[in-house]
Amino acid sequence: MQFSILKNELYSVLQMISRSISLNSPQPALRGIKIEAENKILTITGSDADVSIKKTITQNDDNHLNIQQDGSILVESKYLLEIVRKIDAEDIDVEVLDGTLSRFSGGNAQFKINGMNPKDYPNIDFSKPSKSFTMKADAFCEIIDQTAFATSSKETRPVLTGVNFALNNGELACTATDSYRLSKKIIESDIQDEFNITIPAKGLNELKATVLVDNNEDIEINISDKKAQFISKDTIFQTRLLEGGYPETDKLIPKEFTSTLIMDRYDLIHAIDRSIFIKTDNMTINRLQCSSDEIVLTNKNQEIGESIEPLIGTYEGEPLDISFSGNYVLDALKALKGTSIKIQFTGQMRPFIITDDNDKSIVELVLPVRTYN
Amino acid sequence: MQFSILKNELYSVLQMISRSISLNSPQPALRGIKIEAENKILTITGSDADVSIKKTITQNDDNHLNIQQDGSILVESKYLLEIVRKIDAEDIDVEVLDGTLSRFSGGNAQFKINGMNPKDYPNIDFSKPSKSFTMKADAFCEIIDQTAFATSSKETRPVLTGVNFALNNGELACTATDSYRLSKKIIESDIQDEFNITIPAKGLNELKATVLVDNNEDIEINISDKKAQFISKDTIFQTRLLEGGYPETDKLIPKEFTSTLIMDRYDLIHAIDRSIFIKTDNMTINRLQCSSDEIVLTNKNQEIGESIEPLIGTYEGEPLDISFSGNYVLDALKALKGTSIKIQFTGQMRPFIITDDNDKSIVELVLPVRTYN
């Protein structure tokens, strides 16, 4: 194999591909990035077995790609990135010298690097699943931003580490929960199909950082019961799905409420953020006391002390005294976008929901915590 | 105690003072910052027992300082900084409520914090030592930049963890070495005195980040055989000295050489930096082969591969084949400032020195390493 290419083009592709690489993968081949040259097309692949990315670069004047000889190499990702990043030349030359030894050169510098055998790279199936639809990249990015934070970080119930996407009757419901809080976004869809899949949050965050970033075009989404595949221009991103039924969450979201607080979203974000350093058992527990006269947010710890902040808002209903994880409510508030938010309560020890009147697509639910103040 | 002050003024002082605080100090009082109000002056003190900083703020229109009642508090640094940083108000009020409980308030928010008893704070001696001179803050900063990096990070010979300052016959010699490399800066001085002290590199780096940063005024430097004290406007910074005689280093620096390489400083920095990812036993070992025909920098590792880069420069002397720590030479090159540098060799297994013809004050010495290529 031998080719030359614009250094910046190769570097930006390697940077993206490297997002899928696990540097200490127990499977040595997966620590590498595979580069294949064939028929005037360069194909660059990376994978951590869960997430795989493949990008093709076709010879054109802009990218200076010039393939002199077909072939393939497999080189450890961390070395490849360092070399290409620091080579001080417009174009970079890559050439197989002997077996798995390849040479990278540009300017005065050259690197002879011991790679791995590309035949040892796992055979990744990038074929297209049959269920297919398209969505704007930025719209899908917003779904990730508004849900993925609420997934569980614990592996005790693996299915909760992902975001569930359920399409039914022209409605796409995107749900994430760690069983203490829940974030659900429902958008209307003209896709004539049905599916119910759970995509790992890790895969979604990598998708966001690679294919979706600075992208306002349509992406093609193809799904089977094993994988979700996202195609944007010359890039294929795919992630395995989580197995197991996703819990039924519709019934968890209360429809009737005993009281309502309407207030400025940023005021509440800042008030919680100011008190967040007061931690009890490594958690920030905020107490909210509401009546028609007064709304007060406090956070108390025997050793450290306490914060007290009256809030400006409109409260309707019986007086309420409720405690919750400040971080969970902060996450929920940051996922919303409007200025004014509505918090609807169903009682002191029952879940409450946070919504934004300007964006009916999203609902945030948080469970209170019991305290002994 | 009760006072109010411009939030930004208090925050910037606390930020500076907190640089001296060790958050997990075994002495709980030293995790705190002491604030004293007396005679219209606020005094703020922090210390980690090695380094201590004291800043006084005098009531004026700019800082909004208004002391209503004298007294003192001692509050854990991490809480104090969080509270003052996040309070959303122009001015902040501080008041002792009861014993060690104090209240911080601004805007709608208030914090009642359990502090410590200021009487438990160690009695830090900020008195002025007798030997005194002045120096421009930026000139002292340059000394730190050009020497402190070469101090030892190992505690086996404690005196090598500091920079030695020796004043003799109108010459101030500033020396740092970890016994594998050495950096020495000699500046002429009109100070009519003699001293030989070693200041811990940690203290010098904190001095740089607090008192010297963005400061182009004169600082007053007072030294005894126990401490070095730096005074700039209303701030006193002091650090203990390292005990033990500093090794005689003058004789280590060769005066006669067998060969000389003159080349561009940045070219060598970039060439070493490009090869730095190739590590053997966690060290970057560069090999430099020089003759009048060719100058080549390589770095080879059995597993990873090798880098090869011909360099442009002027070499005079017998052909040379020498290996060294790439990181040490990189540090030395970064401490110099000119475009062109001169490397003078005394043989394959003997120290070499790097100098800058435009700045005769500084000399960098590096010991080669033995390799078995």
Find the residue in B nearest to A109 (Cα).
Answer: B309
Find the residue in A nearest to B302 (Cα).
Answer: A114
pTM of this structure: 0.93
pLDDT at B373: 54
Rounded to whole angstroms, how far apart are CA atoms B25 and B31? 6
Rounded to whole angstroms, how far apart are CA atoms A110 and A97? 12
* Domain edges within chain A: 2-120, 131-250, 253-366
| Residue B203 CA: distances (Å) to CA of B13, B209, B228 | 18, 10, 10
Q: What is the pLDDT of residues A156-202, one digit of tens each?
A: 999 999 999 999 999 999 999 999 999 999 999 988 889 999 999 99
At A281, the amino acid letter reads: D
- CATH number for the segment(s) A253-366: 3.70.10.10
Q: Does the domain made of A131-250 have the CATH classification 3.10.150.10?
A: yes
Residue A252 has pLDDT above 90, yes or no: yes
* SS3 label, residue B160: helix
Q: Does the domain made of B254-366 have the CATH classification 3.70.10.10?
A: yes
Q: Nearest by CB to A305, from B87, B88, B112: name it.
A: B112
Find the residue in A nearest to B273 (Cα).
Answer: A86
Report ipTM for this prediction.
0.91
**Chain centre to alpha carbon of residue A332:** 16
**Residue B278 C-alpha, separation from nearest chain A C-alpha, in angstroms:** 8
Rounded to whole angstroms, how far apart are CA atoms B337 and B119? 49
The helix (H) or strand (E) run that includes residue B227 is: strand B227-232
Q: Nearest by CB to A270, from B88, B114, B277: name it.
A: B88
Residue indicated by tokens 């918090």: A343
Chain B contact residues (CB < 8 Å to A): 78-79, 82-83, 86-88, 101, 108-114, 270-271, 273-274, 277, 303-311
Count CA atoms closer than 13 A to A20's CA, side-chain side: 32
Rounded to whole angstroms, how far apart are CA atoms A47 and A30? 6
CB contact under 8 A, A79 and B277: yes
A and B: number of Cβ contacts within 8 A: 78
Could you please state the CATH topology (level 3) that the domain comprising B2-120 is classified under.
Answer: DNA Polymerase III; Chain A, domain 2 (3.10.150)
pLDDT at A14: 98
Judging contacts by C-beta atoms under 8 Å, the chain A residues touching residue B270 are 86, 88
At A316, the amino acid letter reads: E
Interface test with A, best of B277, B280, B303 (most A CBs within 10 A): B277
Average pLDDT over residues B245-273: 96
Check if A2-120 and A131-250 are the same fold.
yes
CB contact under 8 A, A305 and B113: yes
**Residue A363 C-alpha, separation from nearest chain B C-alpha, in angstroms:** 28
| Residue A97 CA: distances (Å) to CA of A1, A77, A102, B16, B290 | 9, 19, 5, 56, 27
Q: What is the pLDDT of residues B140-173, one digit of tens each?
A: 999 999 999 999 999 999 999 999 999 999 999 9
Rounded to whole angstroms, how far apart are CA atoms B50 and A69? 64
**Residue B98 C-alpha, separation from nearest chain A C-alpha, in angstroms:** 13
Band the pLDDT of A373: cuts 50, 70, 90: low
Residue B225 has pLDDT above 90, yes or no: yes
**Residue A349 C-alpha, separation from nearest chain B C-alpha, in angstroms:** 26
CB contact under 8 A, A109 and B308: yes
CB contact under 8 A, B273 and A86: yes
pLDDT at B364: 98
Rounded to whole angstroms, how far apart are CA atoms A290 and A322? 9
CB contact under 8 A, B308 and A270: no
Query: How many C-beta neighbours within 10 Å does residue A129 have?
Result: 16
Residue B255 Ramachandran class (φ > 0 left, ψ -120 to 50 alpha, else beta): alpha
